[in-house]
């Protein structure tokens, strides 16, 4: 589907702008597909949860907000003056762009109620069937990445890395992800892991650090089993000269966690 200078290729999983591919993570892309399939309709937050995760997970609200922010960033859109993605407070989101070939006046009315109802029911049925057929979920608490560089200007990067890891892990249907609890925002990197697990009913805790390395900035991640506080996986991710630190960190964390929770 084309709109403005953009084209969405759902089969290829690509968003292109004037023919050039736009880098967009999986969850924001699937959110975009869900919205452009129903131009002018309000797609509720519950419908998006089913579309993106198959069922509501613990931190779905934060995950949706982050996915929407990433999507707007890729489209050059804003919440205050949207061209494509409109926020409907307390309800959901609506695609307000004009599909290529459709009159502008039809942008808000281009919808098929019966098709949408059937499609929504189908998505819900598939989501629920996948959810109940999937192996039991494991719950992961993601502690905010701790900025140990001494540079206050990197606090924002530490926060964005945390959000990216939460959204990335939440895209896996087997993981229940907690990332917005006040308990997870701390000045001490190695908290009482068992306290976190007991308070949040989490089986695993992911800790992150942002540090100065020999060659530049590095991120460290630690995946810990709560019951015996065992480090099951840890890695150092070099960020010096990396154009997309969020992708580098989420890829490393996703691969590391997947090896443990096969």
Boundary-marking domain end, from 132, 152, 168: 132
Both 122 and 153 in one domain: the answer is no
What confidence score (pLDDT) does residue 104 get? 45
More confident residue, 71 or 103: 71
Number of separate domains in the chain:
2
Both 100 and 54 in one domain: the answer is yes
- Res. 63: pLDDT tops 90: no
Q: Which domain holds residue 56?
A: 2-132
Both 57 and 175 in one domain: the answer is no
Both 128 and 15 in one domain: the answer is yes
Boundary-marking domain end, from 100, 117, 132: 132
Both 97 and 60 in one domain: the answer is yes
Both 48 and 113 in one domain: the answer is yes
Both 6 and 128 in one domain: the answer is yes
Both 67 and 9 in one domain: the answer is yes
Both 74 and 126 in one domain: the answer is yes
Which range is least confidently modeled, 87-91, 148-152, 170-174, 215-219? 170-174
Q: Confidence class of residue 133 from pLDDT cuts 50, 70 and 90?
A: very low
Report percent pLDDT > 70 for the chain: 80
Both 121 and 159 in one domain: the answer is no
What confidence score (pLDDT) does residue 55 get? 55
The domain spanning residue 60 has which CATH number? 1.10.10.10
Both 127 and 162 in one domain: the answer is no
- Res. 194: pLDDT tops 90: no
- Res. 106: pLDDT tops 90: no
Tell me the three-class secondary structure of the chain, residue by residue.
CEECCEEEECCCCEEEECCEEECCCHHHHHHHHHHHCCCCCEEEHHHHHHHHHCCCCCCHHHHHHHHHHHHHHHHCCCCCCCCCEEEECCCEEEECCCECCCCHHHCCCCCCHHHHHHHHHHHHHHHHHHHHHCCCCEEEEECCCEECCCCHHHHHHHHHHHHHHHHHHHCCCCEEEECCCHHHCCCCCCCCHHHHHHHHCCCEEEEEEEEEECCEEEEEEEEEECCCCEEEEEEEEECCCCCCHHHHHHHHHHHHHHHHCC
Which range is least confidently modeled, 95-109, 110-124, 131-145, 172-186? 110-124
Instruction: Report whether 138 contacts 178 (CB < 8 A).
Output: no
| Residue 115 structure tokens | 């098709």
The domain spanning residue 159 has which CATH number? 3.40.50.10610
- Res. 153: pLDDT tops 80: yes
What confidence score (pLDDT) does residue 127 get? 55
Boundary-marking domain end, from 111, 132, 153: 132
- Residues 151 and 189: their CA atoms lie apart, in Å, by 16
Cα–Cα distances in Å, from 4 out to 85, 116, 150? 13, 23, 43
Both 30 and 114 in one domain: the answer is yes
More confident residue, 54 or 239: 239
């Amino acid at each position: 589907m084309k709109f403005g200078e953009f084209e969405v290729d759902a089969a290829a999983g690509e968003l292109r702008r004037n023919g050039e591919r736009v880098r967009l993570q999986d969850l924001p892309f699937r959110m975009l597909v869900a919205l452009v399939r129903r131009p002018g309709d309000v797609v509720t937050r519950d419908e998006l949860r089913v579309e993106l995760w198959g069922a509501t997970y613990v931190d779905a609200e934060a995950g949706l907000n982050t996915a929407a922010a990433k999507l707007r960033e890729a489209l050059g859109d804003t919440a205050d003056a949207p061209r494509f993605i409109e926020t409907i407070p307390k309800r959901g989101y609506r695609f307000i762009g004009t599909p290529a070939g459709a009159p502008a006046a039809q942008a808000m009315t281009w919808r098929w109620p019966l098709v949408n109802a059937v499609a929504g029911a189908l998505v819900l049925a598939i989501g629920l069937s996948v959810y109940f057929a999937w192996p039991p979920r494991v719950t992961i608490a993601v502690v905010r990445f701790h900025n140990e560089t001494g540079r206050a200007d990197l606090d924002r990067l530490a926060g964005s890395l945390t959000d990216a890891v939460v959204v990335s892990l939440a895209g896996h249907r087997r993981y229940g992800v907690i990332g917005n609890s006040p308990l997870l925002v701390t000045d001490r990197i190695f908290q009482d892991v068992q306290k976190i697990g007991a308070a949040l009913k989490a089986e695993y805790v992911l800790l992150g650090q942002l540090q100065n390395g020999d060659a530049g900035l590095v991120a460290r991640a630690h995946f810990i089993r709560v019951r015996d506080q065992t480090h099951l996986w840890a890695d150092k991710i070099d960020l010096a000269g990396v154009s997309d630190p969020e992708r580098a960190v989420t890829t490393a964390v996703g691969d590391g966690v997947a090896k443990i929770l096969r």
